Structure 1
Amino acid sequence: MTKVSVILAAFNEEKYIENAIRSILNQTLTDFELIIVNDGSSDNTLNIINSFKDSRIKLINQKNRGPGACRNNALDIAQGEYIMYLDGDDWYSRNALEIAYAEAKSKDTDFTFYQMINYDNDTGRKYENDWFSLKIFDESYENTVFNIADFKGSIFDLSVGVCQKIYNASFLRGIDARFPEGIFFEDMPFFYYVLLKAEKISIIKKCLYYRRKHAESITHVVDWKFLDTVPAGRELFRIFIENGWYDAYKFDLLAYKINGPRFALRDIKENYKIPLYELIKKDYCEIKEGPYYQDYIDNLGPVKKKFFLDIIKSKDYDDFKTLNQEKSSPP
């Protein structure tokens, strides 16, 4: 069996895809397959992919269906013992696969975190942040295996990014782990499902992954993609309810579900504010008529609770702005 399947989803990545592919082909661990999913690119991405002649590359060429469908389709054909993910504008350190595989294999983990570092494409500056540096895990988590029952902090302070982990393929298939399709922020519901199903987790306090920040990055520009903070949050809520995890995590889950669209509505480009408001209002009005409304009222902090109720009370976006004079947005 191949040791690692690397799944690379690419949509219009002609500026960066060559570097991403080379970072895999030049790995110190050579027993891998690279599954590239060209997600209906309209630029030169496909031609660049086809310029590589390496038997370890498998190409899925599909109409544009979004990152969730790309990753699901690639996982369906992956033959590796372990699964890793790479975005088309990022790259791995040269020994990333070797280090990640050795850790996951030796500890027989369901998945393993590793550190990432940010790269500013405009300046060339590399910089850390606490999230991607795994600062939330102190030294007691190093060189050991744990599960979420052993975790001392809030699970909603963890990095949800799918590219920051190596996963046991048998574990993913055994729990039928799938990405939601047709939306962005698909990492988030996938991560929490995998996290709460995992029995064996470990961390690697080494930077294995370079995360490029540039003008087109999904997290850099708060545009129409952030409309999907609403359906992604609904999917997350469904997962917690259906798996019996809601009561244990209710307080933090409700805050997390409110905060995503709240911050998105604050920061999104002006021409998307009304469409996002309308999606949030529809969601909150359905919550008001459902069995969990009182939990929101009882468990949300004052700022999030005011946002929640102001959305419900408001007639339209302008009315909401009048009701919700929020000058700052504490966590």
Structure 2
Amino acid sequence: MEKSTPLVSVCMPAYNAGEYIADTVKSITDQSYANWELIIVNDGSTDDTAAIVNQLTDSRIKVFHQENKGQCAAANQAFRLSKGKLIKFMDADDLLSPNYIYNQVSMINGDDDVIAFAAWGRFYSNSLATFHLDDSFLTSSMKPAEWLIASMTDKQVMLQCALWLIPRKILDVSGLWDETLSLINDFEFFIRVLLCAHELRFTNDAVLYYRSGLAQSLSATTSAKGAESAYHSVNLGTQYLLKQETSNRVKKIAADCFQRLVYTFYPQHKAIVHKAALKVKELGGSSIAFPAGGYTKILASILGWKTTQYLKFIFKKRA
């Protein structure tokens, strides 16, 4: 019985999630799999998050309140409060399909050295009518290093936390979230965690509905702390991968990751841009194009990406 229905702990940091968290919790309570616990850590929210989660009556839900320490610290606290053999970290604004947990548990099938993952897509404006499944996401069961390399070749990898169901035993080996990181902290964490598994198994009939376009989720990119976090996360994550394989294909993947930082943080965070550019050169260079569409793409083709990015920065600063 224990093997077929192990306790699943959903670890959910929550910061100013009052507008969405009730729907997220409902997607957990509506799961066809019943043996779960949800640990919500309210990370010093200043909106009505605390009031909403305090009204939850399901006995499988545990709520913990703390002063604001950041997403990583809240996720670690949720894990420390958890008891499950299988762990799912989950943001407080995303949604799971009804058979998500059941099918991921079935896919793991009692093995403690494999991680289950699932399909995903984005939705906007608080409306599932806008949902679109990401059909470029790699949905093959593979060895972790090969999956990461395939998923990161010429594109950005999706490592959103709710995609993964992870045996506690793997987390005991990999370690928890790095609390010094804030922006793209999942990059470092999940590369480290996934590489501790024997296999990644794709789960059919399991879809993560990823909420996109939230203004507060973009604010960290404007801060020096966020830029520094992004650099360190990319630096650590790519180092983990390069320890697995030092081939030219992996060096190119790493260079592309740093080049994306150059594009993202120019011209506001010049020190980070300089460090990232040095990494790109050290790793053999990157050929990925400046990410742009519409008028930005036209402008970049005329003025170059640096001038275009600088003009966008000035415009946003004055707005």
TM-score by length of 2: 0.77
1:227: Cα distance to partner? 5.9
For 1:280, the equivalent position in structure 2 comes to 273
Unaligned regions of 5+ residues in structure 1, if any? Answer: 267-272, 305-320
Question: Any idea what the Cα deviations from partners look like across 1:206-247, whole Å, max 9, x if unmatched?
Answer: 34322223443525x685268624432323323544783472
Query: Cα–Cα, structure 1 residues 109 and 293, in superposed 2: closer, same or farther, change >3 Å?
Result: closer
Residues in 2 aligned to 1:111 and 1:171: alpha-carbon distance in whole angstroms = 9
Q: Deviations over 1:238-286 (max 9, x none)?
A: 3544783472422210221221x233236xxxxxx53x234433x35xx
Is the 1:185–1:229 contact (alpha carbons within 8 Å) kept by the matching residues of 2?
no
Q: Which amino acid is 2:246 matched to?
A: D
Other-structure match for 1:136: 138
> What residue number does 1:232 align with?
230
Pairing 1:250-289 to 2, within 5 Å after superposition: 250-259=251-260, 261-265=261-265, 273-274=267-268, 276-281=269-274, 283-284=275-276
Deviation at 1:33, TM superposition (A): 0.9
User: Higher mean Cα deviation, 61-70 or 225-234?
Assistant: 225-234
5 Å matches for 1:192-271? 192-216=191-215, 218=217, 223-224=221-222, 228-241=226-239, 244-245=243-244, 247-248=246-247, 249-259=250-260, 261-265=261-265
Cα distance change on mapping 1:39 and 1:122 into 2, 3 Å: closer
Partner of 1:309: none
The 5 Å alignment of 1:7-86 reads 7-86=11-90
Distance 1:152 1:192 in 2: 11
Q: CA deviation at 1:151?
A: 7.1
**How many residues matched?**
289
1:122-150 CA distance string (max 9 Å, x none): 554233253xx46434xxx3xx5544347
- Quote the residue 2:10 is aligned against: 6
| SS at 1:159 equivalent | coil
Contact 1:7–1:35 (CA<8 Å) still a contact in 2?
yes
Secondary structure, aligned partner of 1:300: coil
Who is 1:307 aligned against? none
Q: Partner of 2:246: helix, strand, or coil? A: helix
Contact preservation (8 Å) 1:107, 1:145: no
Aligned match of 2:299:
none
Which amino acid letter does the alignment assign opposite residue 24 of structure 2? A
Answer whether contact 1:115 1:134 (CA < 8 A) is retained: no
**Gap change, CA 1:150 and 1:246, over 3 Å in 2:** closer
Tell me by how many angstroms 1:169 deviates. Answer: 1.3
Query: Does 2:188 match 1:166?
Result: no
Q: CA, structure 1 residues 9+82, in 2 after alignment: closer, same or farther (shift >3 Å)?
A: same
Partner of 2:99: 95
State the AA in 2 paired with 1:39: D
Separation of aligned partners in 2, 1:111 and 1:37: 24
Give ranges in structure 2 of 5+ residues lacking alignment: 291-302, 310-319
Whole-Å separation in 1 of the counterparts to 2:205 and 2:168: 22
Identify if the C-alpha distance between structure 1 residues 150 and 123 changes in structure 2 by more than 3 Å, giving closer, same or farther: closer
Q: What is the root-mean-square deviation in Å for CA atoms of aligned residues?
A: 3.3
| Distance change (3 Å), C-alpha of 1:294 and 1:215 | closer
Amino acid at match of 2:129: R
* Corresponding residue for residue 152 of structure 2: 155
User: How far apart are residue 77 of structure 1 and its match?
Assistant: 2.5
